[in-house]
Protein backbone atom coordinates (compact mmCIF):
# COMPACT_ATOMS: atom_id res chain seq x y z
CA UNK A 1 0.00 0.00 0.00
CA UNK A 2 1.21 3.51 -0.76
CA UNK A 3 -0.13 6.46 1.21
CA UNK A 4 1.29 9.88 0.44
CA UNK A 5 0.42 13.06 2.34
CA UNK A 6 1.97 16.49 2.69
CA UNK A 7 2.64 18.04 6.06
CA UNK A 8 4.63 20.94 7.41
CA UNK A 9 7.58 20.99 9.79
CA UNK A 10 6.63 23.00 12.89
CA UNK A 11 8.53 24.93 15.51
CA UNK A 12 11.72 23.25 16.71
CA UNK A 13 11.56 21.02 13.60
CA UNK A 14 8.59 19.04 14.93
CA UNK A 15 7.07 16.72 12.36
CA UNK A 16 3.37 16.11 12.93
CA UNK A 17 2.22 12.79 11.52
CA UNK A 18 -1.23 13.16 9.96
CA UNK A 19 -4.04 11.21 11.63
CA UNK A 20 -4.66 9.00 8.60
CA UNK A 21 -0.99 7.95 8.48
CA UNK A 22 -0.85 7.33 12.24
CA UNK A 23 -4.01 5.21 12.12
CA UNK A 24 -2.72 3.23 9.14
CA UNK A 25 0.54 2.45 10.96
CA UNK A 26 -1.18 1.99 14.34
CA UNK A 27 1.05 4.53 16.06
CA UNK A 28 0.00 6.97 18.74
CA UNK A 29 1.52 9.47 21.13
CA UNK A 30 4.45 7.83 22.88
CA UNK A 31 5.09 5.25 20.14
CA UNK A 32 8.76 4.69 19.34
CA UNK A 33 9.90 5.19 15.76
CA UNK A 34 13.15 4.78 13.86
CA UNK A 35 14.12 7.66 11.58
CA UNK A 36 16.40 6.91 8.64
CA UNK A 37 17.79 9.33 6.07
CA UNK A 38 18.25 7.70 2.68
CA UNK A 39 19.60 9.96 -0.05
CA UNK A 40 17.17 12.89 0.05
CA UNK A 41 14.34 11.00 1.77
CA UNK A 42 13.27 10.62 5.37
CA UNK A 43 11.92 7.20 6.39
CA UNK A 44 9.99 6.92 9.64
CA UNK A 45 9.38 3.34 10.74
CA UNK A 46 7.48 2.22 13.86
CA UNK A 47 9.44 0.19 16.41
CA UNK A 48 7.16 -2.52 17.70
CA UNK A 49 7.48 -3.86 21.23
CA UNK A 50 6.68 -7.42 22.30
CA UNK A 51 3.18 -6.53 23.51
CA UNK A 52 2.24 -4.85 20.22
CA UNK A 53 3.62 -7.77 18.25
CA UNK A 54 1.68 -10.29 20.34
CA UNK A 55 -1.57 -8.38 19.78
CA UNK A 56 -1.23 -7.20 16.17
CA UNK A 57 1.85 -8.80 14.65
CA UNK A 58 2.05 -11.65 12.20
CA UNK A 59 1.56 -14.99 13.89
CA UNK A 60 4.34 -17.44 13.13
CA UNK A 61 3.09 -20.49 14.97
CA UNK A 62 0.13 -21.65 17.00
CA UNK A 63 1.04 -22.69 20.54
CA UNK A 64 -1.16 -24.25 23.19
CA UNK A 65 -1.25 -23.07 26.78
CA UNK A 66 0.37 -26.33 27.92
CA UNK A 67 3.26 -25.81 25.47
CA UNK A 68 3.66 -22.24 26.68
CA UNK A 69 3.68 -23.30 30.32
CA UNK A 70 6.20 -26.07 29.62
CA UNK A 71 8.53 -23.65 27.82
CA UNK A 72 8.17 -21.12 30.64
CA UNK A 73 9.15 -23.70 33.26
CA UNK A 74 12.13 -24.82 31.16
CA UNK A 75 13.35 -21.23 30.74
CA UNK A 76 12.93 -20.51 34.46
CA UNK A 77 14.93 -23.62 35.36
CA UNK A 78 17.68 -22.65 32.92
CA UNK A 79 17.77 -19.11 34.30
CA UNK A 80 17.86 -20.41 37.88
CA UNK A 81 20.83 -22.69 37.09
CA UNK A 82 22.70 -19.85 35.37
CA UNK A 83 22.24 -17.45 38.28
CA UNK A 84 23.22 -20.07 40.85
CA UNK A 85 26.44 -20.89 39.01
CA UNK A 86 27.54 -17.22 39.07
CA UNK A 87 27.09 -16.86 42.86
Q: What is the pLDDT of residue 86?
A: 63
Enter the pTM of the model. Answer: 0.55
The partner residues of 46 in beta bridges, in order of sequence, read: 33
Domains and CATH numbers, the chain: 11-85 (2.10.260)
Per-residue model confidence as pLDDT tens digits over 18-45: 999 999 998 999 999 999 999 999 999 9
Question: 66: closest CA among 74, 54, 57?
Answer: 74
Chain centre distance of CA 20: 19
Amino acid sequence: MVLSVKTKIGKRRVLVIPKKVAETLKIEEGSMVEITVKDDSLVVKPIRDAVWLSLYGKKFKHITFDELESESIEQQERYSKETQSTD
